[in-house]
Structure 1
Amino acid sequence: MSGSKPDILWAPHHVDRFVVCDSELSLYHIDSAVSSELKAGSLRLSEETTATLLSINSDTPYMKCVAWYPKYDPECLLAVGQANGRVVLTSLGQDHNSKSKDLIGKEFVPKHARQCNTLAWNPLDSNWLAAGLDKHRADFSVLIWDISSKYAPETAVATEKVRLSAGDPEAGLVVTKPLYELGQNDACLSLCWLPRDQKLLLAGMHRNLAIFDLRNTSQKIFVNTKAVQGVTVDPYFHDRVASFYEGQVAIWDLRKFEKPVLTLTEQPKPLTKVAWCPTRTGLLATLTRDSNIIRLYDMQHTPTPIGDETEPTIIERSVQPCENYIASFAWHPTSQNRMVVVTPNRTMSDFTVFERISLAWSPVTSLMWACGRHLYECTEEGKASSLEKDIATKMRLRALSRYGLDTEQVWRNHLLAGNEDPQLKSLWYTLHFMKQYTEDMDQKLTGNKGPLVYAGIKSILKSSLGTTENLRHSRSGSDRQADIIQYLSEERSLALQLCGWIKKGTDLDVEPFLNSLEQEGDWERAAAVALFNLDIRRAIQILNKGASSGKGDLNLNVVAMALSGYTDEKNSLWREMCSTLRLQLNNPYLCAMFAFLTSESGSYDGVLYENNVAVRDRVAFACKFLNDAQLNRFIEKLTNEMKDAGNLEGILLTGLTKDGVDLMESYVDRTGDVQTASYCMLQGSPSDVLKDERVQYWIENYRNLLDAWRFWHKRAEFDIHRSKLDPSSKPLAQVFVSCNFCGKSISYSCSAIPHQGRGFSQYGVSGSPTKSKVTSCPGCRKPLPRCALCLINMGTPVSSCPGGSKSDEKVDLSKDKKLAQFNNWFTWCHNCRHGGHAGHMLSWFRDHTECPVSACSCKCMQLDTTGNLIPAETVQA
């Protein structure tokens, strides 16, 4: 404490009292402010608190430092260090018991007068008081006094005697012989007892920090440094100490005392005080001279590898408790992050440092944040939470349902996605039809047709090269029939197949498609497809059937009647009424039907640009009724629209090509659905498309998502699925088993040996029922280690796990119960080096934690914490 600037101390056992000390001691009581008006004699500290002066002690002049007695009894006992080196025990008039009366007024006098710089009470033995003095060439600078001593010291210093001042009339209240004397020929600027031991004292001497052990005062541990002021121990980490010099703060670890573990550079102004927060771990506050800012350093604990000399992570903040310069501050002993500051003119302020609010999103979209000692979780009320609509939630649920992994019935993937998104339904049906025509082309088409595999309709139609035929048909079911030009080619038939209108081959019958639409109850679409195939009678039948169904619309009968009166006369009343009716209909397919019937030949914009009609139906319609030039213009325009909108229905046009990647990029930008993008592009894209950076980015991000959700097995399934569809993505071998004698890779040597007679098989591969085995290194023929459980040489296929089945049970290797290859893998403990077959080790450690080898006490399973987190039933052997 400076002689001119006030300091502030909280009472250690009274959370509502503190002392301000400069030329006198003033005791204050802090209380809540119940109203905006102050009571008489009260001071406003904050909007919530006020302070009332209880007593003043001005009997101890020349104060340089003050320390509050750490125990509850006697109450309000303080030690005051003076400019002449004396230490005086005084009180603030709050306690009058006999123990307090014996101590109040007691003085501890050094041999030679010089300034007392610091005081420190022993936290374990409260009778010990350490005082740090200025340098004197013939005296010690660290004196430890026993406040209970009168005429005889403790047995530990039985040979020493207490010398009393002969001239003092109250002999016995002045003690001149300290219990311990330390630090000769050096000045002591700061002191601090180490809480872990009663007899360890840390002192900031003139040029070094020294640890004194009172059990052997002739020796000390010290380190040379200039940061010797304000030594203080972290209350939550007793091996961490802070000290300062000028504008720098040094953080020390007493277990490695050679140098600071961290140095904090402050402002150019010198520091006046540093203090650890007693309610918050790792929070250090610093104050510089002539400043109204307190700087806070939050020392985060980050796990680092053993032996790494990495500095801890520091988060720095600055707070401004008041407008004026701050003389000193003191943390509240129990209230979290609360402090009282005092200015040079004794103006006080009660201030709370608010914690940083740290937000955290969990991989399952839960939002939590920490504030102080509380942890809050955000929950949404209501029937349909917005989290359920979030794409991350949808992808997580789809991953659980094995979405995207059905490569046989590809269309079923939209059912695994919930059958809620029409674009996903269109996408997977498109990929299903592409898979069908790809298999058909592999059997029939050769030559230049090869590049059309998994191409879209846009690429297919460009390869027609003028092979389109013109056919004239009339509408079936009409009294007055007019010829309508239709176009036919092999490529257009293929496009109709991709649209789902016809089956593979040259059969153009749409009846199976109409029947499926009727089964789904999609009456309007079925009627429109029938009409687009010039079968008005079939369309009327579908509409009538839909109107009579349980959930049908009775208005369909009206539409059927309107169709039955069709005429091709341009100026007929029917055409006028249908043109008007079309604008009043809500169903897009009904609108498209009347637009088709009332349109001129070759001009079908009312059908082609009805955006609510499925893309596949519009494209199929265009393939039947547009000539090559019109068709190419329409397909080009529609493809660009689909790419810009990121509409998955456009995959029908682009296929899994570069254009398909552009479309999928827009879709991912719009939805964030990297799951669908990954599975879709893996389905049949050529290798050059799969190597696209965007595709690789989606795949890796989806893998990271599965890892973040802890779907380890799902991610493994995805990797297997990926390697089947994209052989180039299959990773190289990452684990090798090498011989301990010759150093060669055992598995590589086995695979390199030609199959002669009883050839060698790779490890972990369960082949035929008569499994070949290798019990020695193929390179040097040294025997392989034995399994610790079955005692058979490694390389022998696992027959059964010891204790895993009854003795009378037989292992059936010819059926689906065949054991997995993982059971044969080499497994060993990195600590004791014992191990065996993976299947045997899994079986053993389900019930044990100790190594199976006799006389080995290694806790193998407990070395890896993840081994305790995974239940036994989730381990897929």
Structure 2
Amino acid sequence: MGLIKKVLNWSNDSEYDYLSVNPTREEVAHYRVDPENEDDNSIVKMNTVKDFDSITCLDYSDIDVGLVGIGEKNGIVRLFNIVPDSSLSNNFNLRVRAKQQRTVNSIGISSNGLIAIGMERNRHDPSLQIWDINYQSTDSNVVNPSFSYCLNETLVSLKFLDDTTIITGTTKLLKEIDLRSPNPVYQHPTRLSYDIKINPFNCWQFTTYGDDGTLAIWDRRKLSTSPTSNEFLETQPLLKFEKLMGSGMATRRFSNACFRWSVLRSGEFTTLHAGQVIRRWRLGSVPQEENRSSDGEEQELSSKPHDVESLFVSAVHDINTTFDRVATFDYIPRVSGVTNFICMRQSGTIYRMSLDEGISKAAFNSNNDVLFSNNDRSYVEELRITNNDDSLEANHIAKEMKNLSFEDLDISEGELQFEIEESESISPQGDEDDSQLEDADDGASANREMSSSGNYSFLLKPEQLLQNDISMIMKRRALLGYGLDPMSTVELIDCSKSLQNNAYIRNTWRWLSIAKASVDDGTMVSGELDLGYEGILGIWNALDGLSKQDRYRQGTIFTEKQLNKELEKIIQMRGKNKSRGGNSNGLSTFANSNKPIQRKLCMIISGWDLTPADYEEKYQNLIKLNHYEKAAGWAVFFGDVTRAIEILSSAKKERLRLIATAIAGYLAYKDQPGNNAWRQQCRRMSSELADPYLRVIFGFIADNDWWDILYESAISLRERLGVALRFLNDKDLTRFLERTASTVIKNGELEGLILTGITPSGIDLLQSYVDKTSDVQTAALISVFGCPRYFKNSQVQEWVQTYRILLNSWGLFSIRAKFDVLRTRLSRTSQNVITAKTKPRQLYIQCLKCNKNINKPAEASLSSRARQNSMMKNFTGTKKFGITNNAASNPQQKHSCPHCGTPFPRCAICLLPLGTSNLPIVISGRAENYDGKPTNPEDAELQELREAKRLKLNEWFSFCLSCNHGMHAGHAEEWFEKHLICPVPGCFCNCNK
């Protein structure tokens, strides 16, 4: 069989050299190939040497261009020059043989002129003979070996590792021989010893195969283990492929089995199968585990010789050859990394095969652009699909200045509605009926088409689908400041039409804003107890519900009695705040409860601790919105069926007035036991009516059973909680709360946080929500309100880190910084302890002379309070730009290094020292564009404050990291708006690039 082999280091130009042996093994040819030309004409035959007697092996010299050595079946070794214009003599042709002439199975040529030949066994003549071509006598055709090994062994393969090291394979052993030592470095018993090939990317690895075609990948470090150790006896190849090369390979060993390590890609090799399939194998490695000490600290990776990587097959890809009956092949490396092969058919024809693989991997980046990669290319293609316009604005809605309370939770129970009209007007009221939910996604209505079956189907273009993907929604939210302030987030959802304006998200942030207001004003904290962001279930279960959380002052042990006392204080505190606004007598609850305090506080948290004036006001608000059904349902929830009848009777719709007449029968039949026609009709209507509030009204008046309301999933969770807290006994209430909590956690219902709170159970709910929606942004922003202040959770850390990475990938670094600040601020406990792990400051300004931080050095020696007070008299406490400014007694310290006194650099524009406060000039910088004049005093004050901050920022340090010249930040903005070159005379640095 034929052989084709790539030659290294023979050409200094961009072309590659190849040596080939034709299938009849009678001639050797030299080819020159242009790798960048994919035409077959790029393969040029340079020379041919003929008249050989059955060639068995071939090798070449890396140093001497043109030097080729071949071994023949008759035992002759021939060394000749195949490149006429090389430094070797054109007539160089050396024919030698061993003393005991026999078949030459393998030949190797080292870079220093050593020739190694491996032959069949002989009792009197070693099978491995190594001699120097420079000292071989031309008068004798018998080899004069310098080194001899392997007496009475058949040597089937060999390979030079370097000038003094050879790996050899006999029919029974693998050996590594150092020519400086008479004994092998190691010898491993195996029959997998044919055709040694070294991995070009890892000199420790090499391959061999056996008589049955089994291929093995070895690591020399494992083979070099001491023969006396148990590891030596158990040494196995890194990988073994049973019968991969085909059976009987040893009998066909002169064919030089078609295995090739890739010269383009590390961890890849190819094999030829049936003359028509080239199979590409890609290997992966298992990373080594880090050793850890007993105290958990990481230690350095072990550097023992036998600690080698473990390999596995990561991918296999079959490639059909252009023509069949391929005998051998090799790689053609290309600059672009595209895989090409040079192939020889059994007829001896040489041709070139290009491999144009399709996309091997595609992935979306954080902007939903598609990234394509090909295993043969070193670059990644990007297909921009989404519109990355970050200029998003929300319709401004002025903040309503009022004291938030849990009683305001009823606002906007339904989906936020946007009229799909040209004006896209927004209703000023947020209270919407659940039965009238609408999707507010832009463009959805334009893609709505009627299907043939009569149902609606949504046909979205891929671009539109990706632009409305959750990752893009999260980015748009982040650009608008979503989640950084709960109340602002509610207003953002109200006014923005480009976000997912689901009612459950809005209601969750509404509850969170009220809970945050309660934490900020201290009405959820009493003495040793902190119930911030706690849910109804935790408060109802008392000590069991508050376990696994840091709700008590450290070292405090609470009893049920003490807990009830603290809960009562919280209720009284909230009652005082409420009494300032009017009547504080709320609705009555279940009379015979053993947990009246917990029940009362749960009513407060759920927003159902209302006075008669409160719920009468809510009736009127709902009636104004034509939500008569919901107003009547709320009247029933408050236990006032008569008021429900009045509400429905006042409706303009005749249908509702007729329903009011039917409900009025409750007043006549409520005290009559047993079944009757009126009750049966009410039950029928409770299952047939479309409106959920009418259904629960008829269900209740038919059986006088509150469970009909509690089982109605169309009614909001908060409404059902209000009914349960008022009318269920303790046992039924516990069962209802636990069952409902289990359901909302399993389904990831975000509004269920009012039940679980931001607690470990709430984190489980958020996890289900993330699994369902992939909205890691909302989960991270909500969870930081309770973690790590009240508890620690690894999942929250994962969400936070994922969201931070997302923000960084979008380039929203300022928003990410605001998120970090928010998380740190929220982690501060009622005892003023920060529980979040904050990263230390990463950037400092240092003096160019003393290389010290220009901040005022800490006076560690002044430990006593008196010394500190004395220091405060001598120094001002004002810090500006990281510099501690001294009093007037030390004026030189204002703009000089506090350590060595070196003056700060001067601004290249105004020549005033950097770091100086109260400058005699105003640095305007690049003016911001505001959309018109403010419409109200609050906006004017906000704009004025923002402008003052911007002007202060313009006085900060600004340095070029290339030329080290500095300017005020505002002056740098002004200069580089019109220039590219540094303003310092004689400096040609492009500072702005």
Counterpart of 1:425? Answer: 506
Contact 2:603 2:725 in 1 (8 A): yes
1:265 to 193, 202, 206: 206
Counterpart of 1:511? Answer: 616
Q: Distance in 1 between matches of 2:67 and 2:768?
A: 74
2:842 to 712, 718, 734: 734
Q: 1:328 to 1:633 in 2, by over 3 A?
A: closer
Displacement of 1:351 in angstroms is 6.9
Cα deviation, 1:329-370, whole Å, max 9, x if unaligned, reads 267999975657446576999976563712222223344434
Counterpart of 1:596? Answer: 700
Q: Secondary structure at the match of 2:208?
A: coil
Cα deviation, 1:474-512, whole Å, max 9, x if unaligned, reads xxxxxxxxxx98659676555444334466xx6663023
The letter of the residue matching 2:905 is P
Q: Distance in 2 between matches of 1:499 and 1:75?
A: 82
2:707 to 580, 586, 605: 605
Q: Distance in 2 between matches of 1:115 and 1:531?
A: 100
Q: Distance in 2 between matches of 1:134 and 1:7?
A: 12
Cα deviation, 1:183-204, whole Å, max 9, x if unaligned, reads 9x9xxx999xxxxxxxxxx999
Q: Distance in 2 between matches of 1:661 and 1:610?
A: 26
Displacement of 1:275 in angstroms is 8.5
Displacement of 1:529 in angstroms is 0.3
The letter of the residue matching 1:774 is K
Q: Does 1:653 align with 2:755?
A: yes
Q: Distance in 2 between matches of 1:789 and 1:507?
A: 69
Cα deviation, 1:600-652, whole Å, max 9, x if unaligned, reads 4xx42112222221111111112222344443443333333333333222221
Q: Secondary structure at the match of 1:656?
A: coil
Q: Does 1:67 align with 2:30?
A: yes
Q: Does 1:576 align with 2:680?
A: yes
Contact 2:700 2:706 in 1 (8 A): yes
Counterpart of 1:55? Answer: none
Q: 1:764 to 1:738 in 2, by over 3 A?
A: same
Contact 1:657 1:686 in 2 (8 A): no
Q: Secondary structure at the match of 1:634?
A: helix
The letter of the residue matching 1:329 is F
Counterpart of 1:585? Answer: 689
Q: 1:499 to 1:274 in 2, by over 3 A?
A: closer
Q: Distance in 2 between matches of 1:686 and 1:320?
A: 55
Counterpart of 1:523? Answer: 628
Cα deviation, 1:264-291, whole Å, max 9, x if unaligned, reads 623347967898999x899997679999
Contact 2:855 2:884 in 1 (8 A): no
Contact 1:293 1:320 in 2 (8 A): yes
Counterpart of 2:916? Answer: 796
The letter of the residue matching 1:756 is K
1:358 to 347, 358, 361: 361
Displacement of 1:593 in angstroms is 1.0
Counterpart of 1:747? Answer: 855
Displacement of 1:779 in angstroms is 3.1
Q: Distance in 1 between matches of 2:917 and 2:521?
A: 42
Structure 2 residues not aligned, in runs of 5+: 7-17, 35-39, 72-77, 97-106, 117-129, 131-160, 168-193, 211-252, 285-308, 387-457, 543-562, 572-587, 829-833, 861-867, 928-942
Q: 1:720 to 1:686 in 2, by over 3 A?
A: closer
Q: 1:658 to 1:790 in 2, by over 3 A?
A: same
Cα deviation, 1:281-331, whole Å, max 9, x if unaligned, reads 99997679999986758899xxxxxxxxxx9x9998675768999642267
Q: Distance in 2 between matches of 1:276 and 1:250?
A: 6
Q: Distance in 1 between matches of 2:638 and 2:268?
A: 82
The letter of the residue matching 2:474 is M
Counterpart of 1:634? Answer: 736
Q: Secondary structure at the match of 2:771?
A: helix
Q: 1:766 to 1:67 in 2, by over 3 A?
A: closer
Contact 1:115 1:133 in 2 (8 A): no
Q: Does 1:539 align with 2:639?
A: no
Q: Distance in 2 between matches of 1:132 and 1:561?
A: 110
Displacement of 1:69 in angstroms is 7.6
Q: Distance in 2 between matches of 1:765 and 1:378?
A: 42
RMSD: 6.0
Q: Does 1:248 align with 2:235?
A: no
Counterpart of 2:662? Answer: 562
Contact 2:195 2:208 in 1 (8 A): no
TM-score (norm 1): 0.60
- What count of residue pairs does the alignment treat as equivalent? 660
Q: Distance in 1 between matches of 2:67 and 2:991?
A: 53
Moved more, 647-656 or 752-761: 752-761
Contact 2:269 2:282 in 1 (8 A): no
The letter of the residue matching 1:247 is I
The letter of the residue matching 2:635 is A
Displacement of 1:776 in angstroms is 1.7
Q: Distance in 1 between matches of 2:113 and 2:283?
A: 23
Q: 1:359 to 1:264 in 2, by over 3 A?
A: farther
Structure with the greater alpha carbon radius of gyration: 1
TM-score (norm 2): 0.54
Q: Does 1:620 align with 2:722?
A: yes
The letter of the residue matching 2:535 is G
Cα deviation, 1:785-819, whole Å, max 9, x if unaligned, reads 3344443333224957989489xxxxx99873343
Counterpart of 1:6? Answer: 2
Q: 1:227 to 1:813 in 2, by over 3 A?
A: farther
Q: Does 1:382 align with 2:459?
A: yes
Q: Secondary structure at the match of 1:762?
A: strand
Displacement of 1:424 in angstroms is 1.7
Counterpart of 2:178? Answer: none
Q: 1:178 to 1:805 in 2, by over 3 A?
A: same
Q: Secondary structure at the match of 1:265?
A: strand
Counterpart of 1:721? Answer: 822
Contact 2:637 2:723 in 1 (8 A): yes
1:396 to 475, 498, 503: 475
Structure 1 residues not aligned, in runs of 5+: 11-17, 25-61, 86-113, 121-128, 148-156, 158-176, 192-201, 209-221, 229-244, 252-259, 301-310, 469-483, 549-553, 807-811, 862-867, 869-877
Q: 1:625 to 1:741 in 2, by over 3 A?
A: same
Q: Secondary structure at the match of 1:442?
A: coil
Q: Distance in 2 between matches of 1:326 and 1:580?
A: 81
Q: Distance in 2 between matches of 1:852 and 1:330?
A: 59
Q: Distance in 1 between matches of 2:477 and 2:645?
A: 40
Contact 2:504 2:750 in 1 (8 A): yes
Q: 1:115 to 1:859 in 2, by over 3 A?
A: farther
Displacement of 1:22 in angstroms is 3.1
The letter of the residue matching 1:248 is K
Q: Distance in 1 between matches of 2:638 and 2:471?
A: 42
1:858-873 matches, within 5 Å, as 858-861=989-992
The letter of the residue matching 1:525 is K
Q: Distance in 2 between matches of 1:825 and 1:640?
A: 54
